[in-house]
Amino acid sequence: MLPLPRFRMFRPTTVAEAAGLLRDLGEDAQLVAGGTDLLPNMKHGLVGARALVSLQNVAALKGVRVERQSLRIGALTTLESLAEDGRIRELAPGLAEAAEAVGGPHHRRMGTLGGNLCLDTRCRYYNQTHFWRSALGFCLKKDGTVCHVVAGGQKCVAAASNDTAPALIALDATISLESVRGEREVPARSFYTADGIYNTTRERDEIVTAVTLPIVPGRTSGFDKLRRRNAIDFPLLSVAARVDRDEGGIAALDIVVSALAARPRRLAAAAKVPPGTRPSMDLVHRLSEAAKKECRPLDNVEGDAEWRHEMVPLLVERLSRRLGLG
Amino acid sequence: MSDRDERLVGKRGRRGDLTRKVRGETRYTDDIKLPRMLHAKLVRCPHPHARITQVDATRVLADPNVVAVITGRDLPRRFGIIPWTPDEYPLALETARFVGDAVAAIAALDERSADEATRRLDITYEVLPHALSLDEAERKVEVGLGANRKDNVSKRVDLSFGDVDAALAASDVVLEGEYYFEGTAHAPIETHCAIAQYAGDGLLTVWSSTQVPHYLHRELSRVLAVSPARIRVIQPPVGGAFGGKSEPFALEFAAAKLAMVTGRPVKILYTREEEFYAHRGRHPMAMRYVVGATKDGSLTAVDAKTRIDGGAYSSFGLVTTYYSGQLLTLPSFAPNYRFSSVRYFTNKPPCGPKRGHGSVQPRFAFECMLDRIAEQIAMDPIELRRKNAVGADSTVNGFRVTSNGYLECLARVEEASGWKERRGKLGRGRGLGVASSAYISGTNYPIYPNEMPQSAVQLKVDRSGVVTVFNGASEIGQGTDTLMATLVADELGLDLGAVRVVSADSDLCPVDLGAYSSRGTFMNGNACIAAAREIRQKLVQAVAAKLEVAPRDVFVSRGFLCAVGKENEAVPVTEAIVLAESRFGTLGATGWYKSPPKLGGDYRGGTIGASPAYSFTAHVAEVTVDERTGVVEVVKVWCAHDCGKALCPTLVDGQIEGSVYMGIAEALLEEHVIDNRGLHRGPNLLDYRIPTSLDVPDIASILVESHDPEGPHGAKEAGEGPLHSSIPAVANAIYDAVGIRLDRLPFSPGRVLAALRAERPEARRTALGGT
């Protein structure tokens, strides 16, 4: 089989201890939670780290807590428990659906929310063995100088492939980070960048400790994913939506489309829907057609890019209708 | 066994190795760990076609964990499964012919060190021109991959039966169609693995996850220049093969050579990526068919032109090229037939036999053509097939047919699927399709010409009441071990648990040619019954003497031998064994199978495709097609298969379900694509998608028994036949659902949408999200 490279393993029990290790080890270190993304990538020679800092024994990072106006989810909460948690299913169904759509049962049992948020971007020219990439001549994201998706491209367009990311952005979540330099909070919508090489604003010495979701009356959410098989597959396209309703109709709306490029895309057309708009099929069609214009999948993951593009309005329409927008 | 109700044959039951497999106790090749064992990795060429100008191992050998490096020069003899086309070196000698072709092997103390060392081997290549598609192989003759180096042709076959041109000219309907099948991989869960041990006394032992231990034995001897008497080949349980392990591979030779060089055991386990480079998967084929018929539905002639993309080496290509035409003439066919097939070499992983070798692709094309003919003359497609069922005992190309349950297969799927009531009436977006096929129960001739048996079994009878079957055949998950135990248990009145099966070990078992071309049940089964009957005769004679009756009055029941009229003096089998051993000496027997002489047509190539018996299959598939997403879902498949006699019905069901699973995967998902750089498009199981348990349709397996006169208890094959027509059944169901004819596999959503649009321009607006 493909062997893992040699590495040292650290198992801190507190966040402070883990943060200290990241500082001390510097560039050599890499955080690991469930390992479902990191370990295959290490086997493919994509990760240079010579030391892993495991968060598995940091008890403080586990569990879901309902507070007065928010839902706080420890970063080490597994995707399986997220998908099954009755409180999440009720208060943030879009996140539960996204967690349930990740990989297969084994991935969800090992994989964590924090790990999924920090999932490395994926590309057909990147997620391959060292031999394959050497035969290709490597790529911009790793060991090479050219992009094979966009001929002559100078920017990496590897795709954000984490199912929970669009859900958290749509749900207006806040991500808590901690390092030896202190703690900070970042809105999920600002957490990702358009750089496929490293698509988050997380500093390398920072640890995602928790995700906080506001509890808003009248809120509903959902998630949908395009894939060729009913399990295992990373998304060819994903859509998350959140709708806030009040007596006047739609109070606020957010639709996020992902698995296109490095950064999940918030649909401008959805954010611009004025408060008080009434649900209608016309609204659904406007949103789905705008989505098709705003989103342009590239040939960056294994799946027909044209078909993925055509499916953008369809997924947006289906999810919008499911959430009662028309 | 005389009492039918007591026979195990024909009864459902668990396979003998079930508990061990479920509990994780089965020991596959990679589970074997020998003292002082080294791990080796192959170094592979990163260019589609290149001359190796220099190999410098200095940097590799500087690593204290590395023990040895070998290159093509250490193994300079060619091999090949077909004796007439040996064109592979274990490690490329002068030129490498595809991205992933093996050029060197490195043995190290551990797998990681060997893997890391592959990146430090300095190889200088001179890049050569390459051909990566059928069109390039035809056009770019200068690439010179053919044996004469003047073109890229691997094999050409032209055969003609009857007067095709005259028959087409006289036809009421003549349709043409072009089809393309990109090819698929076997994707066994167990990747190839081999271990070699070279003992101080000069005995070379090779454990390999092969399905042809005997051919491996011969080729190891030839390539390594070691007497076969000094080689032992052992095949441990195999975790899936599907034809992908039916010839020797680089790893077996490399492990053996490294073991000889180092004096230590050496293991090589292919990664998933290497599995895709070893390949031997289904050939890409571009097929052009012209089919004629009369208004009343009699097929008149079939004219086929097929271009076959063989990849870098010959493999079984000679046979594939014949099979692409020869295996089409059952079960419904025309009296005039001509085919022209050309296999080309390309700079891609070599293609070979995958379940339904050579004939799944033409079957797809032809059965789609039949559906079009039926529509053209307004005839029910099942009726068209029935009308053209080959009724005679010989096909247009001269194959003998001894048993034929085809019409029953058609009738059973017609009834089970509610065909008459439901077809065409399920509403737009849902449809039913039918297709049918036939397949061989073993090839009539061994791969290397000889007059010896093709299958053989030895029985050892122990005084304790245990009988051991030393069986040359390869258990690769299909269940031959269970079948052998069942046959012996029935002949001797033993419980299944009293029969042990030791298989595929060249030191212990007689020669069997291997698990390919669906030969196991027919050939191995006959061999086994012959051996068991010899023992049975001795038990009967010994018991007859004890009971003082004539041998013909003794019968075998479960656990006892009895005599007519003396039922209360039943002799336990164990006692019968003691009596027989006392009377005859140590008990043992051999049994073997040789196919009847002179099967096949009396023309060059007329024996290729000839089989002692043919199985028959009919499929009806029910699909839904989402016209907005292009997604096809196969809801249900009814598969009726004539296996002659279902000796172990649970295993036959398993073969049918596995075949349908694989066929549906090829219809909807799988596509083995090499890109325009010569790179595999995604040599892993994320990018090369095989269905998960959530993607499998409901499968109704229907067993049809035509009782072949020469089969063991009437049995024929069940391992490959039930795959063939599943693919065109889906294609025809898609047509019934939404009126599009798909001529290229797989039926991916993008292709379905494109075809819908070509059919109905207004579909485009629907897909765009309009009303």
CA-to-CA separations, B245 to B15, B185, B388, in angstroms, rounded: 22, 12, 37
Q: Rounded to whole angstroms, how far apart are CA atoms B119 and B112?
A: 12
Contacts by B576-581 with C-beta closer than 8 Å and gap 24+?
Answer: B576/B539, B576/B542, B576/B543, B577/B461, B577/B462, B577/B463, B577/B465, B577/B539, B578/B463, B579/B539, B579/B542, B579/B543, B579/B545, B579/B546, B580/B461, B580/B535, B580/B538, B580/B539, B580/B541, B580/B542, B581/B461, B581/B463
In Å, how far is B112's CA from the nearest CA of chain A?
A: 5
Rg (CA), chain B: 27
3-state secondary structure of B681: coil
According to the CATH classification, is domain B32-128+188-241+245-278 in 2.70.50.60? no
The whole-angstrom separation of Cα B764 and Cα B756 is 8
pLDDT at B6: 84
- Note whether B326 and B291 are within 8 A (CB): no
- CA-based nearest residue to B733, from B421, B419, B438: B419
- Domains B4-25+453-593 and B285-444+601-767 in one fold: yes
Q: Are β-strands B299-309 and B571-572 bridged in parallel, bridged antiparallel, or unpaired?
A: unpaired
Task: Say how far apart CA B13 and CA B653 lie, in whole Å.
Answer: 11
pLDDT in tens, B658-708: 999 999 999 999 999 999 999 999 999 999 999 999 999 999 999 999 999
Q: Of A231, A285, A306, which has the smallest distance from its Cβ to B694's Cβ?
A: A231
Position B567 scores a pLDDT of 85
What are the structure tokens assigned to B749, written together? 């959503």
pLDDT digits (tens, 9 = 90+) for B234-260: 999 999 999 999 999 999 999 999 999
Tens digits of per-residue pLDDT, B492-546?
Answer: 999 999 999 999 999 999 999 999 999 999 999 999 999 999 999 999 999 999 9
Question: The whole model's pTM is what?
Answer: 0.97
pLDDT band for position A135 (50/70/90)? very high
* HEC per residue, B413-436: HHHHCCHHHHCCCCCCCEEEEEEE
Tokens standing for residue B291 = 């089919």
Tell me the C-alpha distance between B331 and B659, whole Å. Answer: 19
**Which chain A residue has the Cα nearest residue B675?**
A136
B304-346 pLDDT tens trace: 999 999 999 999 999 999 999 999 999 999 999 999 999 999 9
- Across the beta sheet with B554-557, the strand order is B554-557, B560-563, B571-572
Whether omega for the bond prior to residue B331 falls within 30 degrees of 0, making it cis, is yes
Q: Which residue of B has its CA nearest to A304?
A: B750
Would you call B768 and A1 a contact, using CB atoms and an 8 Å cutoff? no
Q: In this predicted structure, what is the pLDDT of residue A1?
A: 85
Q: Residues B478-488: pLDDT tens digits?
A: 999 999 999 99
Please check whether residue B97 is in contact with residue B312, taking contact to mean a CB–CB distance below 8 angstroms. yes
Q: From chain B, pick out residues whose CB is under 8 angstroms from the CB of A232.
A: 686, 692
Cα–Cα distance for residue pair B555/B4, rounded to 1 Å: 12
- CATH number of B4-25+453-593, picked from 3.40.50.11540, 2.40.30.110, 3.30.365.10, 3.30.2310.20: 3.30.365.10
DSSP B82: S
CB pairs under 8 A between A and B: 98
What is the pLDDT, as a whole number, of residue A100?
Answer: 98
Distance from C-alpha of A186 to C-alpha of A165, rounded to nearest angstrom:
13
Residue pLDDT, tens place only, A191-211: 999 999 999 999 999 999 999
CB < 8 Å to B115, chain A:
2-3
Which residues does chain B have within 8 Å of residue A229's beta carbon, measured at their own beta carbons? 669, 689, 691-692, 694-695
Verify whether the Cβ–Cβ distance B681 to A302 is below 8 Å: yes
Q: What is the band of B362 on the pLDDT scale with cuts at 50, 70, 90?
A: very high
Task: Give the whole-angstrom CA distance, residue B152 versus residue A66.
Answer: 69
Q: How far apart are CA B265 and CA A116, in angstroms?
A: 42
Nearest to B118 by CA among B54, B70, B189: B70
Task: Tell whether the torsion through CA atoms of B628, A124, B694 and A76 is positive or negative.
Answer: negative
Residues forming a β-bridge with B338? B160, B303
**Which one-letter amino acid corresponds to residue B471?**
N
Residue B771, SS3 per DSSP: coil
Q: What is the mean pLDDT of chain B?
A: 96
Which phi and psi (to 5°) does residue B454 adopt?
A: -90, -25
In chain B, where are the structural domains located? Answer: 4-25+453-593, 32-128+188-241+245-278, 285-444+601-767
**pLDDT of res. B2:** 54
Best interface-test mutation with A: which of B687, B747, B751, B766 has the largest number of A CBs within 10 A?
A: B687
Q: Does B689 touch chain A (CB under 8 A)?
A: yes
| pLDDT score recorded for residue B598 | 86
CA distance B279 to chain A (A): 16
Query: What is the structure's pLDDT at A153?
Result: 87
Residue B767 has pLDDT above 50, yes or no: no
> Which residue of chain B has the CA closest to A301?
B687
Question: CATH class for domain B285-444+601-767?
Answer: alpha beta
- Whether residues A285 and B694 touch (CB distance < 8 A) is answered with no
The confidence band for B765, taking pLDDT boundaries of 50, 70 and 90, is: very low
Distance in angstroms (rounded) separating the CA atoms of residues B504 and B520: 13
pLDDT digits 0-9 by tens, A217-226: 999 999 999 9
Q: How far apart are the first and last CA of chain B?
A: 69
pLDDT at B761: 63
pLDDT of B414 strictly over 50:
yes
Cβ(A243)–Cβ(A324) below 8 Å:
yes
Most A CBs within 10 Å: which of B45, B192, B271, B661, as the mutation test of the A interface? B271
Give the model's pLDDT for residue B165.
Answer: 98
Residue B392 — pLDDT band, cuts 50, 70, 90?
A: confident
pLDDT over threshold 80, residue A33: yes
d(CA B505, CA B493): 27
Query: A interface mutation test: which of B692, B756, B757, B766 has the most A CBs within 10 A?
Result: B692
Chain B residues with beta carbon closer than 8 angstroms to that of A285: 769-771
List of chain A residues whose C-beta atoms are within 8 Å of the C-beta of residue B118: 131
Tell me the C-alpha distance between A58 and A49, whole Å: 21
For the purposes of burial, counting CB atoms within 10 Å of the CB of B77, is it exposed (0-12), middle (13-18) or buried (19 or more)?
A: middle
Cβ-Cβ contacts under 8 Å for B5 (sequence gap 6 or more): none
Residue A307 contacts B, CB cutoff 8 Å: yes
Q: Which H helix or E strand runs over B727?
A: helix B726-738
Q: Is B63 in the A-facing interface, judged by CB distances under 8 Å?
A: no
> How far is C-alpha B559 from the geometric centre of its chain's CA atoms?
37
Q: How far is A310 from chain B (nearest CA, A)?
A: 7
Residue B207: name the closest of B197, B195, B223 by CA: B195
DSSP-derived letter for residue B124 is E
User: Among partner residues A3, A132, A311, which is closest to B683 by beta-carbon distance?
Assistant: A132
Q: How many CA atoms lie within 13 A of B404 on its CB side?
A: 20
Q: Tokens standing for B738?
A: 């939404």
The three-class DSSP label of residue B43 is strand
E strand or H helix that includes residue B222: helix B213-224
| Structure token pair of residue A124 | 């057909």
A307 interaction partners in chain B (CB closer than 8 Å): 630, 748-750, 753
User: Average pLDDT over chain A, rounded to whole?
Assistant: 96
A309 contacts chain B (CB < 8 A)? no
Region B167-189 average pLDDT = 98
> Which residue of chain B is at minimal alpha-carbon distance from A131?
B46
Could you tell me the two tokens for B93?
């000698």
Q: Is A1 on the interface with B (CB under 8 A)?
A: yes
Name the residue of chain A whose CA is nearest to B119's CA: A131
The answer to whether B566 touches B579, Cβ cutoff 8 Å, is no
Is the pLDDT score of B763 beyond 50?
no
10 Å Cβ neighbour count for B139? 12
The encoded tokens of residue B246 equal 């039916």
Residue of A128, A136, A285 with shortest CB distance to B769: A285
Q: Is the pLDDT of residue B111 over 50?
A: yes
Is B750 close to A231, i.e. CB distance below 8 A?
no
pLDDT in the model for residue B770: 38
Sheet holding A174-179, edge to edge: A64-66, A70-74, A207-214, A174-179, A182-187
User: Which helix (DSSP H) or strand (DSSP E) does residue A38 occupy?
Assistant: helix A38-43
Give the model's confidence band at B768: pLDDT under 50 very low, under 70 low, under 90 confident, else very high. Answer: very low
